[in-house]
Amino acid sequence: MAKKISVAPFWGCMIPVKYPQMELSVRKTMPAIGVELIDLDQFTCCPDPIYFKARDKMNWLTIAARNLAVAEERGLDIVTMCSGCTSTLQEARFMLAEDPELKKQINQRLKRINKEYKGTVKVKHIVVMLRDDIGIERIKASIKRPLTGVKVGIHYGCHLLKPSQIMHIDDADYPSLLENLTQALGATPLTHTEKLLCCGKGCMDDEMPLEMTYEIFDSMESVGADCMGLICPTCFNSFDMGQILIARKKNREFNLPVIYFCQLLGLAQGLAPEEVGLHLHRIKIDRIMEMIGAKEGSVEVAA
């Protein structure tokens, strides 16, 4: 039996509150690949890299450093589920390593609550942990219902990869991380023209995100995608609900289910759609379930 790894899951704010199905899919799929999740209840918001950071970068960095220190105290590395949390925590680590004077200032603030950020904790988005610490072979070994024939339009989002100077994850222009993981599930990852386009959710504009979503889905549809595979709750917000808005405003129905990577992993591990919360999505996945030969319920696995 391969060895187990223990990590501190950083759920963030959007996933546990708005999209708990993503949390559910992580909790359900990790045991089969030897990941133990040790919840730390002292974590706060990462804090978010768009709105709160816009208000005060020093407070943003201080709260991020506190979260990092919380995991450090327990000797656990952090696994993030959201690209925004990944961005904040990784950038905080980078800034504090780049500027020792800044680190001193932040630690003076943390000292008021008897905490210190040392710089030993690592932060990984869950898909990076899957690639680097679990590995493709072990993921494959957990698969009971391969997603054969399912064409997944990959969407990276922005904050997993960029800036590569900070993120150190993959080539920001020609990434392969999600393609390789998707392939491990037996599915067919599809590259498409707008694979790396931003979802637009981070700007203060109503029209732009919708236009971007439209282009992304148009590009995915043109290569014959059956669904979209993604890793970020903010992008999900743009795309699941976004397709409903596009149907209403632009009279075009894409009807492509938007699926978080661990939900895809769960389906491939033989879990039922409800067990990974797919019934909570606006765009339903019935067609995908027909394709993989299971209309409802978990697959019975022979001993």
Partner 1 sequence: MSSSKLNFEFRQRLNKILGGEHHNYCYQCGACVAACPAARFSDHFNPRDVLLKTLIGDEEDLIRPDSIIWKCTNCYTCYERCPQDVRPVEVIIALKNLCAQEGVLPEDINKFSETLVKTGRSVVITSTVNRRRQELGLPELKDVNMAELQTIIE
Interface residues toward partner 1, by CB under 8 A = 13-14, 16-18, 20-21, 23-24, 27, 39, 41-42, 44-45, 47-59, 61-63, 66, 87, 95, 102, 109-110, 112-113, 158-159, 162-165, 172, 197-198, 200-205, 208, 211-212, 277
- CB of 20: closest distance to partner 1 in angstroms? 5
Reported as type and span, the H/E element at residue 245 is helix 233-250
Q: Kindly state the DSSP code that residue 2 receives in the 8-state scheme.
A: P
Residue closer to partner 1 (CB basis): 34 or 163? 163
The CA distance from 237 to 71, in Å, is 28
Q: Exposure pattern of 241-262 as b/e (b: 16+ CB <10 Å)?
A: ebbeebeeeeeeebebbbbbbb
Rounded Cα–Cα distance for residues 241 and 282 (Å): 7
Shortest approach of partner 1 to residue 293 CB, angstroms?
A: 26
Q: How far is the CB of 95 from partner 1 (least distance, A)?
A: 7
> In the complex with partner 1, which residue's Cβ is closer, 117 or 226?
117
Per the DSSP assignment, residues forming a β-bridge with 5 are 35
> Which of 36, 56 has the CB closer to partner 1?
56
Pick the closer one to partner 1 by CB: 131 or 201: 201
Separation between Cα atoms, residue 153 and residue 268, nearest integer Å: 17
Least distance from partner 1 to the Cβ atom of residue 218, Å: 14
DSSP code, position 31:
G
> Minimum CB separation from partner 1 for residue 222, in Å?
18
Distance, in Å, from the CA atom of 21 to the CA atom of 162, rounded to the nearest integer, reads 26
Residue closer to partner 1, measured from CB, 41 or 137: 41
